């Protein structure tokens, strides 16, 4: 069975609540069958609205959403067959775990025998085999979350939506749940649309990530591409850490450009600049800049150490470099004895390929 590339399709979707402000602007998004797509963005960026439109709790102001090629804007939520995991779990507090899981099956008029079989299977999938007769209130946050996931999957929906499902859990539990959800997704191959504002979560779990800002998808690509090759300065800024220089393109030629800063000049990789004179923001990941590089690098600058913060496995060094006093370096904690001391001047080098000249901020 070939997988459909546009199993879920947002086609020119706009959404406004008050007729004045567009919360979602011209959204076009194709989600492949069996894919794990994360909508990532700051709060108010429209990602939850998109999810709610897909679930059927909000209607698009313009455009259409297709599920398996069928337009679904006029189908009420209970007929869409989309499973959903809510931020606060939304388990029915007056029902046992078993009854919670049996609920979607009962409303589908399944036989008692089938219901028991399916619930058992779903519970063992989230390793909560012996918990069928507990009430949700007797479970820990992580267990409740697993029940919520099992409930969203128990009726074999084509798509499962997750709205910041791990937001209420503590850090360690959140990480282990990330892997658990990822493994469940891999083993049953359901299409998952996941909403979060936690970039670490998005990078860990997703096949593809849609970065939302201001009602628009800024970039839709795989986690590694998103991190390595952000297409604009918002994405670069939002995903991971980032050193930036604001300047003006002074020279551009096949594959490289020179950017003139207030103090000095750097060589960069022109991503969204085309001609001389354009304003740009150059983005460099902290780990791509090295101290006293052995290899020849086309950018070499001197910086003064302003702050040293010990982080266990690495040390963060804040430098004043080319007038940017917020330039961060990550130095791995190896036995290598570098001269990292407050106030020292050190040599910093990076490749022009890693310095991406993006749109100005």
Query: Is residue 112 involved in binding other proteins (CB under 8 A)?
Result: no
DSSP string covering 304-342, please? EEEEEEE-SSEEEEEEEETTEEEEEEEEE--S------T
The strand pair at 243-253 and 8-16 is best described as: unpaired
Question: What is d(CA 290, CA 329) in angstroms, rounded to the nearest whole number?
Answer: 8
Stretch that binds other proteins, among 99-107, 217-225, 232-240, 264-272 (CB under 8 A): 99-107
Helix (H, G, I), strand (E, B) or coil at 68: coil
Query: Is residue 82 involved in binding other proteins (CB under 8 A)?
Result: yes
Please say which residue, 82 or 259, places its beta carbon nearer to other proteins. Answer: 82
**Binding map of other proteins across residues 164-203, x = CB under 8 A, - = no contact:** ----------------------------------------
The number of residues in the chain equals 361
Helix (H, G, I), strand (E, B) or coil at 31: strand
Contacting residue, 151, 258, 318, 356, with other proteins by CB under 8 A: 151
**Binding map of other proteins across residues 46-75, x = CB under 8 A, - = no contact:** ---------xxx------------------
Query: Is residue 338 involved in binding other proteins (CB under 8 A)?
Result: no
Query: Is residue 86 involved in binding other proteins (CB under 8 A)?
Result: yes
Query: Is residue 137 involved in binding other proteins (CB under 8 A)?
Result: no
Query: Is residue 141 involved in binding other proteins (CB under 8 A)?
Result: no
Question: What is d(CA 174, CA 34) in angstroms, rounded to the nearest whole number?
Answer: 23
Contacting residue, 4, 14, 61, 155, with other proteins by CB under 8 A: 155
Query: Is residue 245 involved in binding other proteins (CB under 8 A)?
Result: no
Question: What is d(CA 104, CA 284) in angstroms, rounded to the nearest whole number?
Answer: 49
Question: What is d(CA 275, CA 108) in angstroms, rounded to the nearest whole number?
Answer: 61
The CB-of-211 to other proteins minimum distance in angstroms stands at 25
Query: Is residue 78 involved in binding other proteins (CB under 8 A)?
Result: yes
Please say which residue, 108 or 311, places its beta carbon nearer to other proteins. Answer: 108
The CB-of-143 to other proteins minimum distance in angstroms stands at 17
Kindly state the tokens that stand for 227: 């991190």
Helix (H, G, I), strand (E, B) or coil at 243: strand
Question: What is d(CA 358, CA 163) in angstroms, rounded to the nearest whole number?
Answer: 31
Question: What is d(CA 237, CA 235) in angstroms, rounded to the nearest whole number?
Answer: 5
Question: What is d(CA 354, CA 130) in angstroms, rounded to the nearest whole number?
Answer: 52
Question: Which chain residues interact with other proteins by CB under 8 A?
Answer: 55-57, 76-84, 86-88, 90-94, 103-104, 107-108, 151-152, 155, 161
């Amino acid at each position: 069975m070939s997988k459909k590339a546009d199993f879920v399709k947002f086609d020119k979707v706009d959404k406004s609540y008050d007729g004045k402000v567009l919360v979602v602007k011209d959204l076009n998004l194709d989600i492949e069958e069996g894919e794990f797509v994360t909508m990532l963005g700051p709060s108010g960026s429209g990602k939850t609205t998109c999810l709610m439109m897909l679930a059927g709790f909000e209607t698009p102001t313009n455009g259409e959403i297709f599920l398996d090629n069928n337009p679904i804007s006029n189908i009420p939520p209970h007929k869409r067959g989309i499973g959903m995991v809510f931020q606060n779990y939304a388990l029915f507090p007056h029902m046992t775990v078993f009854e919670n899981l049996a609920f979607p099956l009962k409303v589908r008029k399944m036989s008692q025998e089938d219901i028991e079989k399916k619930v058992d299977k779903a519970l063992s999938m989230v390793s909560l085999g012996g918990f069928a007769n507990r009430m949700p209130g007797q479970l820990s946050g992580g267990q409740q979350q697993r029940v919520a996931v099992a409930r969203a999957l128990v009726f074999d929906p084509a798509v499962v939506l997750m709205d910041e499902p791990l937001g209420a859990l503590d850090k360690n539990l959140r990480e282990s749940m990330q892997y658990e959800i990822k493994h469940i997704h891999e083993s049953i191959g359901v299409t998952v649309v996941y909403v979060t504002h936690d970039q670490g979560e998005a990078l860990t779990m997703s096949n593809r990530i849609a970065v939302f800002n201001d009602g628009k998808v800024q970039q839709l690509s795989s986690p590694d591409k998103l991190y390595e090759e952000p297409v604009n300065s918002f994405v670069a800024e939002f995903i991971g850490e980032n050193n930036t220089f604001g300047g003006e393109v002074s020279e551009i030629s096949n594959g490289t450009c020179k950017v003139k800063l207030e103090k000095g000049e750097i060589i960069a990789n022109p991503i969204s600049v085309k001609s001389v004179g354009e304003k740009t923001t150059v983005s460099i990941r902290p780990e791509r800049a090295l101290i006293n590089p052995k290899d020849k690098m086309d950018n070499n600058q001197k910086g003064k150490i302003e702050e040293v913060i010990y982080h266990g496995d690495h040390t963060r060094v804040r430098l004043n470099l080319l007038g940017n006093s917020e330039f961060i370096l990550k130095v791995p904690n190896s036995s290598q004895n570098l001269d990292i001391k407050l106030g020292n001047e050190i040599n910093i080098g990076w490749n022009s390929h890693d310095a991406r000249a993006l749109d100005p901020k």
